Structure 1
Amino acid sequence: MVQQRKKGGIAAMKGRLLQYGIIGAVVASVAVYGCSSKDSPATPAPIEDPSLADINFRVPQGWDAPVYNFSGNPLTVNGFKLGRKLFFETRLSSDNLISCGSCHQPFAAFSQFGHDVSHGVDEKVGVRNSPALFNLNWHTSFFWDGGVIHMELQPAAPITNPDEMNETLQGVLTKLQGDATYRQLFKEAFGDEQVTTERVFKSISQFMGLMVSANSRYDKYKRNEAGGTLSAEELDGLSVFQAKCASCHKEPLFSDFTFRNNGLALKPNKKGLIDSGRGHITPFEATSLYRFKVPSLRNLKFTPPYMHDGRFETIDQVLDHYTSGIQQTPNLDPLLASGSIALSATERNALKAFLNTLNDEEFVKDPRFQEPR
């Protein structure tokens, strides 16, 4: 089960819910959410999809224990299958055209390839880049500002965001309860046909929680497995990374999940406002302004553009920022106080070569995570 947080975490979660205007919707759904809190998985159904033969969560060798471990949400084939279908279900949106998978595409490591910010219903656009989704069980918070601290609450935000899916939680339940196929899927997963927000969120969390990316060439190198050979340049790049990047992008997840200001120039977003980042969640803490969650450096090949607002299209642009583009903005991370990270041309090429070893082709092609047909 996700580790419990004290008052600060609760305030952060409330801040995120207020941002999306859904605190009332979540409170209104508590009775529905809680009515099945003692659900136990139903009798397993025969596995018709061969890709679902292995629905097990394993902590990769050398990784720390996850924050979310399914102890309160037993992982089952039927629960995962339901969650996968819901993840790609367009009826979770008000116009019945946008799904979670619209902004989190499997081939893009569950980011939205080529879009600087999220695209939602009625051709609306958000203000932040759709973050890649993998290794979520190790995250201590969600979204660029960390406004939600529990994976099972995370789906409420995009579903109710007016620029994303723009639906109500009750609207989702009504649509699903009225569908005989879904009623059967809920029965197979939870024992009866009742559709509740708790069951919706738990099943989606089973799908997202199983999305572990740990089979890159770097991972195989660390485990001394076949296919894990790194070239001399890539090994040099690993050394450069460990010397100049690892303070924030900690191995093996390649993020420490903290909030930092990396010196991006402050510029208006799609709404004409300067994004305050973490400051949106804790507005009375001046030190939180312009800080965003450190993203993982895994799967960069699949996830351009980069940064919280997708302002950089290439890795070279990202490196240009760190070598010569850091701005002395309020709350700039102390590690960047000098204004640059020095990289010679040789170091830069080696670092880029190493970053390419973090791409997990097996993950993006895993049949378990593709949209069901």
Structure 2
Amino acid sequence: MKRRVIFLICLAILGAAGSGFESSLPVYTRQSDTTIFKVPANFPKPVYDFKGNRVSDAGFRLGRMLFYDPLISRDKSISCANCHQSFAAFAQLDHAVSHGVDECLGTRNTPALFNLAWQKEFMWDGGIHHIELSPITAMTNECEMASNLQEIVVRLNASEKYPALFKQVFHRDAINSQSVFRALAQFTSMLVSADSKYDQYIRHENNVVFTTDEQAGYAIFKAKCSACHTEPLFTDRSYRSNGLDKHPDDIGRDSITHQADDIGKFRVPSLRNVEVSGPYMHDGRFNSLKEVLEHYNTGVVSSPNLDPLLKKNGVLGIRLDHTEQLRLLAFLKTLTDTKFINDKRFQDPNKIKSK
């Protein structure tokens, strides 16, 4: 209930400002050295309409500064980047579940952050419906940043550096919560991952070809995995139960919809960068992709809401023999976008100097 109230308040803030979102493909050029938003040739049109929050060079840099600043947590100890690590495709490599202030551990795995402009809903349960509001849960959750919007705005207005930076971007004398959300969105919406070996193969770039195992793995993927992990985003953006527990401790999507049919269902994550973004599942219970594939092979348990695709012809799960698993792993590794992971534009501005 608390999350829903916060969401409605924030939605009202955004609506009151008259965001003026209209359907259009965003095309931005930056004068010098930082970011150009471009829809990859093999991608669909983004969900996020940038018209109400046009990205600028100053806005992108401000958003990146906020993303890496612990000032927005209650005790000024952690930033967004503590849980969203650039080298892990902005997931959290060293914890199964979120790790916040006072060493508090949450209940769900930290999701990777990329291609957010193509997402319709956010969080494992889909409790947030807009990219600009996606940071609200982390900011206010008692086991994450444990802060509140009013305190964050007060701190930013009282700081030496932020008022002038916000005024440059949003042309207002005072910082408000809307401008905080929009500044962060100018950074996170630019986290586009679309230059993996798979992408170059699909776009016929640089004479990239798959190895025999990668090609065989791709065929297995299309036959056994693509119904949920749909190309090119490698998610169909649905909510499904994948047979982790007969009686799940975390009710998942039901916490938002209050529908019994949604108990134990979670958002289907993208498989892009899956090689580097473990641990896996909503609770981080699997440490390796081998464990994930073996779960689908032999570990799926029956439950009232188990996805129909995992109980076809009286067989639970997705049968994958040893060779198929190795070939599928070979293909999944072609989804790793090292250029994105190592892109200095997205890393800590206090440690990386912009070119």
Query: Normalization by structure 2: what TM-score?
Result: 0.90
Displacement of 1:29 after TM fit?
Answer: 9.5
- Matched residues, number: 338
Counterpart of 1:326 in structure 2 is 300
Counterpart of 2:257 in structure 1 is 282
- Alignment match of 1:293 (pick from 267, 276, 285): 267
- Identical-residue share of aligned pairs (%): 44
Seen in structure 2, the aligned counterparts of structure 1 residues 277 and 25 have a Cα distance that, compared at 3 Å, is closer
Counterpart of 2:25 in structure 1 is none
Q: Distance in 1 between matches of 2:215 and 2:34?
A: 33
Seen in structure 2, the aligned counterparts of structure 1 residues 196 and 26 have a Cα distance that, compared at 3 Å, is farther
Does 1:106 pair with 2:86? yes
The runs of at least 4 aligned residues of structure 1 exceeding 4 Å deviation read: 28-38
Q: How does 1:69-148 map to 2 (within 5 A)?
A: 69-148=49-128
- Alignment match of 2:157 (pick from 177, 181, 186): 177
Q: Distance in 1 between matches of 2:305 and 2:209?
A: 40
Seen in structure 2, the aligned counterparts of structure 1 residues 175 and 64 have a Cα distance that, compared at 3 Å, is same
Q: How does 1:245-256 map to 2 (within 5 A)?
A: 245-256=225-236
SS of the residue aligned with 2:91?
Answer: coil
Displacement of 1:118 after TM fit?
Answer: 0.2
Where structure 1 has 5 or more consecutive residues not aligned to the other structure, the ranges are: 1-17, 39-45, 269-273
Q: Once the two structures are superposed, what CA deviation does each residue of 1:35-92 show, in whole Å capped at 9, x if it has no partner?
A: 6969xxxxxxx97xxxx72422111112111100312110101111111111111011
Counterpart of 1:352 in structure 2 is 329
SS of the residue aligned with 1:300?
Answer: coil
What's the Cα RMSD here? 2.1
Partner amino acid, structure 1, of 2:261: T
Seen in structure 2, the aligned counterparts of structure 1 residues 122 and 318 have a Cα distance that, compared at 3 Å, is same
Seen in structure 2, the aligned counterparts of structure 1 residues 104 and 282 have a Cα distance that, compared at 3 Å, is same
Seen in structure 2, the aligned counterparts of structure 1 residues 350 and 189 have a Cα distance that, compared at 3 Å, is same
Contact 1:219 1:228 in 2 (8 A): no
Does 1:156 pair with 2:131? no
Partner amino acid, structure 2, of 1:214: A
Where structure 2 has 5 or more consecutive residues not aligned to the other structure, the ranges are: 21-29, 351-355
Contact 1:32 1:196 in 2 (8 A): no
Seen in structure 2, the aligned counterparts of structure 1 residues 136 and 28 have a Cα distance that, compared at 3 Å, is closer
SS of the residue aligned with 2:95?
Answer: coil
Q: Once the two structures are superposed, what CA deviation does each residue of 1:189-222 show, in whole Å capped at 9, x if it has no partner?
A: 1123320111100110111100000010000001
Q: Distance in 2 between matches of 1:328 and 1:154?
A: 32
Partner amino acid, structure 1, of 2:322: A
SS of the residue aligned with 2:243?
Answer: coil
Q: Distance in 2 between matches of 1:293 and 1:28?
A: 22
